[in-house]
Chains A and B, each alone.
Chain A
């Protein structure tokens, strides 16, 4: 366990000095997976054989390499959310329709991690096609929260967050369309970073809502998040929306120099409906920063209250288009009995998709259909402009924002599954960040009286991940919370 609590940088140093073999590290992670999976269900696929093979090769290579030739992730095993393509590994997106799909290529993020020597140990559970906030819509059954097995780990990257929390993954990559990295990170007491839209290539991430999706790290510490962000960031010719903006060394930003920064507390994020314990712990972070030379002022994001509604027009609309490709022709699953081509499409999709995916495809189909486009989709895109401008105005006064990640801590399994809107509202504080394309990080900031972790969200200006990483790292080091659950 001691090994699994170490940071990526520490592990890299041990490997570099040849004090730790990649095979030992891979075995330690695989053993932990074996110990915890019956309780958690955080993985859909464990690629133990492949990982062992790679580790053996890495052991041999390591003997031949000098210290400065060893790349940052050499021999370090990572897990990946099961909607990101890893070549020749099954990728299900937690859907029956892709149950037997095998990735024909590596996503750009995977290629970049591989180039730095990473080894992949498995694919993490998620809500079906990343549509959900609890990992309960997975065709492969829900993931459990390591802090309380009767509770959800959040979602949609619930498997990644639960695995990192339980130390059955050293670090993982998730995807965030409306909070799917930050909300599960908060529920599981780990760090989750959604980079600025365009910072990380989406090539090879299964498209859900293309104007909102972004890949990011889920890690034990802020430093690990910066460590991975350094590697996965940067323009990619295979993703035309990836930004041609230089990538700084994010680790350099973690220097504790928070004095003089200006923080904003958006008053709309501290309203009724937020659990008092969540509010109290988040405000304590603001106080801590204030004591250390950060000026804190109240700001207003007046149209935040429309974010969830806006999102539930835009995301399903984009999803209805993106998921049109699962038609029984190219992607493994095809219904057995059908009359003709159209009937084959309809039956394949009826059998292959779960209820939440069907709901979103149908909502998106409706809002984009003739006669309704202006009233719903165009209207939502205009409100998105207002939400975006709200953040721009706030960032004229402050450098970053402090908010809760979620209105409450992890809820019970089954508590919200019958009420889609109740489930949607659990992302109320994370969604606006995606609509505006901004970076946001979730960092543990305390526990409630039930012993469940609480997260604070720091929101930064576009392409200024450095400030939120700096502040998050400072908060983490000041609070020194014990974020390892007893399992």
Chain B
């Protein structure tokens, strides 16, 4: 199996990663190789096997509902590329 150029661009779009022209072909090769590599799992019959999403037994972790401290505002914003100290500022989303 080999991914098409369009498929690579679609994946990159979903992943929100812009690809340069020369990267498209490189990733097309490499991603196709990786997908072919993992295809080996199809040799195994897994009919009737339950998936193991986690090795930790699924159980509820409960605690008393006691208010506690969370990260203070100045710590929350200390790594923001753009902030006014109360909000993360993003490029305008709403078109007029």
A-side residues, CB < 8 A to B, are 100-102, 104-105, 197-198, 211, 237, 240-241, 243, 303, 306, 309-310, 312-313, 320, 324, 327-334, 338, 340-347, 349-350, 353, 358-359, 361-363, 365-366, 369, 376, 378-386, 388, 420-421, 424, 436-437, 462
Q: Is B4 an interface residue (CB 8 A)?
A: no
Interchain CB contact under 8 A, B75 and A105: yes
CB distance from A363 to the nearest CB of B (A): 6
Q: How far is the CA of A309 from the CA of B46 in the complex (A)?
A: 15
Q: How distant is B50 from chain A, measured CB to nearest CB, in Å? A: 6
- Write out the residue numbers on chain A whose beta carbons fall within 8 Å of the beta carbon of B96: none
State A310–B51 Cα separation when bound (angstroms).
12
Partner of A329 from B8, B39, B46, B88 at Cβ < 8 Å:
B88
Within 8 A of A (CB), among B55-96: 55-56, 61, 63, 71, 75-76, 78-82, 88, 90-93
Q: 5 nearest interchain CB pairs? A: A437-B55, A381-B51, A334-B81, A382-B46, A104-B75
Q: A104-B79, A381-B51 are in contact. Are A349 and B16 (CB under 8 A)?
A: yes
Q: Of A211, A240, A424, which is within 8 A of B55 by CB?
A: A211
Give the CA-CA distance A306 to B27 in the complex, in Å.
Answer: 24
A237→B54 CA distance, assembly (Å): 18
List A contacts of B15 (CB < 8 A). 320, 349, 358, 361-362, 365
Contact A347 B81 (CB under 8 A): no
Assess the A421–B34 pair: CB atoms within 8 A. yes
Bound Cα distance from A331 to B77, whole angstroms = 9
- Across the two chains, which residue of chain B brings its CB closest to A316? B34
- A211/B54 in contact, CB under 8 A: yes
Give chain B nearest CB distance to A117 CB in angstroms: 24
Pick from A334, A366, A383, A462: contact of B46, CB below 8 A.
Answer: A383
Query: Given that A332-B81, A437-B56 are contacting pairs, would A358 and B27 also be in contact in the complex, using a CB cutoff of 8 Å?
Result: yes
6 contacts between A and B (CB under 8 A): A241-B56, A312-B37, A313-B41, A340-B92, A359-B27, A361-B17
Set of chain B residues within 8 Å of A327, measured between Cβ atoms: 16
The answer to whether A243 and B56 touch across the interface, beta carbons within 8 angstroms, is yes
Specify which chain A residues have a CB less than 8 angstroms from the CB of B33 in the assembled complex. 420-421
**Are B91's CB and A306's CB within 8 A?**
no
Contact A362 B31 (CB under 8 A): yes
Q: Is A104 a contact partner of B76 (Cβ separation < 8 A)? A: yes
B8, B12, B41, B71: which contacts A309 (Cβ < 8 A)? Answer: B41
- Chain B residue at smallest Cβ distance from A366: B11
Pick the contact of B91 from A312, A344, A381 — CB < 8 Å?
A344
Given A359-B27, A385-B51, 7 more A-B residue pairs with CB atoms under 8 Å apart are A104-B75, A306-B44, A309-B37, A329-B81, A358-B27, A369-B14, A385-B50
* CA A60 to CA B51, docked complex, whole Å: 56
| Measured CA separation A362–B7 after assembly (Å) | 11
Query: Could you count the A-B residue pairs with CB atoms below 8 Å apart for me: how many are there?
Result: 150
Q: Is the CB of B54 within 8 A of A241?
A: yes
CB-nearest residue of chain A to B60: A240
Contacting pair B34 A380 (CB below 8 A): no
The SS class assigned to the A binding surface is: helix
The docked-state distance in angstroms from the alpha carbon of A310 to that of B27 is: 21
The answer on a CB contact under 8 Å between A462 and B55 is yes
Residues of B within 8 A of A306 (CB): 40-41, 44
Q: Which of the residues B38, B53, B80 comes within 8 Å of A381, measured between beta carbons?
A: B53
> Do A102 and B78 touch (CB < 8 A)?
yes
B81 to chain A, nearest CB (A): 4
B-chain residues with CB within 8 Å of residue A240 when the two chains form the complex = 61
Whether A388 and B55, one on each chain, are in contact in the complex, defined by CB atoms closer than 8 angstroms, is: yes
B44 and A346 within 8 A (CB): no
In the complex, the chain A residue whose C-beta lies closest to that of B40 is: A309
Q: Which residues of B contact A380 (CB under 8 A)?
A: 38, 41
Bound Cα distance A165, B34 (Å): 34
CB distance from A421 to the nearest CB of B (A): 5
In the complex, what residues of B have CB within 8 A of residue A381's CB?
A: 51-53
Docked CA distance A128–B33 (Å): 21
Specify which chain A residues have a CB less than 8 angstroms from the CB of B17 in the assembled complex: 346, 349-350, 353, 358, 361-362
**B38/A309 in contact, CB under 8 A:** yes
Other-chain contact of B41, A105, A310, A324 (Cβ < 8 Å): A310
- Closest Cβ neighbor of B47 among chain A residues: A382
Contact B56 A420 (CB under 8 A): no
Asked if A382 contacts B49 (CB within 8 A), the reply is yes
A198 touches B56 (CB 8 A): yes
B78 to chain A, nearest CB (A): 6
Of B16, B30, B40, B63, chain A has the most CB atoms within 10 Å of the CB of: B16
The distance from the CB of B73 to the nearest CB of chain A, in whole angstroms, is 11
Indicate if the CB atoms of A303 and B31 lie closer than 8 Å: no
Minimum CB–CB distance from B24 to chain A (whole Å) comes to 11
Which residue of chain A has the shortest Cβ distance to B37 in the bound complex?
A: A421
- C-alpha spacing A310/B78, complex, angstroms: 38
- Residue B18 lies at the interface, judged by CB distance under 8 Å to chain A: yes
B49 touches A386 (CB 8 A): yes
A349 to B15, CA, bound (A): 9
**Given A102-B78, A340-B91, A436 contacting B55 (CB threshold 8 A):** yes
Q: How far is the CA of A362 from the CA of B34 in the complex (A)?
A: 11
